[in-house]
Structure 1
Amino acid sequence: MISISQETIDRCLAIRKAYRELELKHHDKEWSIDEDLLALTNDIGNMNRLIMTKQGRYYDETPYTLEHKIAENIWWLIELADRLDIDIQKEMETFLTQKEELLGIKK
């Protein structure tokens, strides 16, 4: 079973905390949830281009890899869940269990 470990979540949040410190240092204010969401949507756009490039449907000019962008988007989702007081581990388990039951997948 795929799960998000507490260690992974803690590492994600520590990285985001370091970015917040840079935001305060350089802009005197940390990003809002809306700004975090904007950053996520930008990274999703980069991921879309990388997927299209992998399929031979686009040329990629970004310095990132598809694998990196997928991981970064997961990182953003974990960070946003934390800021919105959502227990991502619990919600993933609930989501997966509901889908398994709906689709008749036996564990």
Structure 2
Amino acid sequence: MEIKELLERSVEIRKRYHELEIKNHGEKWSVEEDLLALSNDIGNLNRLVMTKFERYYDETPYTLEGKIAENIWWLIELSDRLDVDIEKELEKFLIVKEKL
């Protein structure tokens, strides 16, 4: 799958979540609330990684692979809401790293 398709699908899914937020709370989540959700998911990812290396016990209902994907999804969502062309920025980032 091409990155452009992943980005488009991610944004479309988030739009549907915004519809649920408006229905249930009267407004969609703010960028700050999205960032808080990402922070929570990063914490869950950390626990899953620690569990993988037997440094923590697994108490989350998630999988390591799924949580990594979800964190990427949140970053795509935040880049969209902050008007960051993540595809372009990732390309620039990779070029810099390749030169190093």
| Superposition TM-score tier, normalisation by shorter sequence | over 0.9
TM-score, with structure 1 as normaliser: 0.91
Within 5 A, what are the aligned runs for 1:25-104?
A: 25-102=23-100
Using the TM superposition, give the Cα deviation of residue 4 of structure 1 relative to its aligned residue in structure 2, in angstroms. 5.9
The number of aligned residues is 100
- Runs of 4+ aligned residues of structure 1 deviating over 2 Å after TM superposition are none
Q: Which runs of 5+ in 2 are unaligned?
A: none
Question: Kindly, what percent of the aligned residue pairs are identical?
Answer: 67
Gaps of 5+ in 1: 103-107
- 1:5 Cα deviation after fit: 1.4
- Between Structure 1 and Structure 2, the one with more helix by share is 2
- When normalised by structure 2's length, the TM-score is 0.97
- The secondary structure found in structure 2 opposite 1:57 is coil
Tell whether the 8 Å contact from 1:13 to 1:79 is kept in structure 2 after alignment: yes
Q: State whether residues 20 and 30 of structure 1, in contact with CA within 8 Å, keep that contact through their aligned partners in structure 2.
A: yes
Give, in angstroms, the shift of residue 100 of structure 1: 0.8
1:76–1:4 distance in 2 versus 1, CA, 3 Å: farther
**Bigger radius of gyration among the two:** 1
